[in-house]
Amino acid sequence: MIYPVLKKSIPPLLVFFFVIGIHYSITYGFLEPTRRFLLPPPHSIIYEGFFVPKHREEILRGLFLTTKVSFIGLSIAFVLGFSVALLMSQAKWIERSLYPWAVFTQTVPILALVPIIGFWFGFDILARIIVVVIISIFPIIINTQTGLNGASKNLHDLLTLHKASRWTRATKLMIPYALPQVFTGLRTSAGLAIIGSIVGDFFFGRGSPGLGMLLKVYSSRLRTEELLSATFMACLLGITVFWFFSYLGKKLVGHWSEAWSS
């Protein structure tokens, strides 16, 4: 019974040990002792980051704040992005009017906007949430829109034949049809939301310290161990969120959607 599980987990484990091995060999093989602060060995990163109570608390608080900002921002981006996509699917002129703005959120160099967002909304949680919304809304809009427009002409004709109202068409055809792609968008956006909240943090440099601000502080103090621990936490958060939305998608539409089955 245990054998298949073992067989499945051996390759990733091997890769993991290989990477750790390279890490150690760089620290002890290539770096002179005085320069080892550039890449401290894994065990001291783990020790400094997670076993020194002060650092651990700092990092966990940062993680919590980053998670909170990302989550709130992503929820807003989802509601807003979904609504915009739904609106765009209802008439060509709405699509033409809103689409450029959607593209704008994708192409605007967010770093250029950060100072102005700071001026307008202060340097605390609100400003960070706004950065998250801007950075994560595009994949939700574009994926939802593609999904909403994806139902075949024949299916639409079928509804036309039976005199379906605009509401019926949206709720019984277009929205369910779009769901697999909505989840694809959400999964992409979730990762971006975390990046957004860290970037916002990093550049606002004030207000409550999330992971981004910790990264800044640690790097200015050359605290490589804590810096790498915090980075590791950020990655872990990203992976968890990606995994969560993959799971959610599979759970909710995997039984009928080819894209989400398997």
Residues that bind other proteins (CB under 8 A): 152, 154-155, 157-164, 168, 172-173, 176-177, 179, 253, 255-258, 261
Residue whose pair of structure tokens reads 């968890």 in the numeric block: 240
Place of tokens 């075949």: 152
The nearest distance, CB 172 to other proteins, in angstroms, is 8
CA dist 233 and 70 (Å) reads 14
Are residues 67 and 210 in contact, defined by beta-carbon separation less than 8 angstroms?
A: no
Token pair of 204, please? Answer: 């606002």
Shortest CB 162 distance to other proteins, Å: 4
CB nearer to other proteins: pick between 92 and 162: 162
Provide, rounded to whole angstroms, the least separation between the CB of residue 155 and other proteins: 5
Residue 174 Cβ vs other proteins, minimum distance, rounded to whole Å: 11
Contact 167, 94 (CB under 8 A): no
Both tokens assigned to 31: 């770096």
d(CA 57, CA 44): 17
Q: Which residues contact 16 (CB under 8 A, 6 or more apart)?
A: none
Q: Which is nearer to other proteins, 106 or 160 (CB)?
A: 160
Nearer to other proteins, 46 or 164 (CB): 164
| Nearer to other proteins (CB atom), residue 146 or residue 257 | 257
By the 10 Å C-beta count (0-12 exposed, 13-18 middle, 19+ buried), 155 is classed as middle
CB of 150 to other proteins, least distance (A): 11
Is 174 or 227 the residue whose CB approaches other proteins more closely?
A: 174
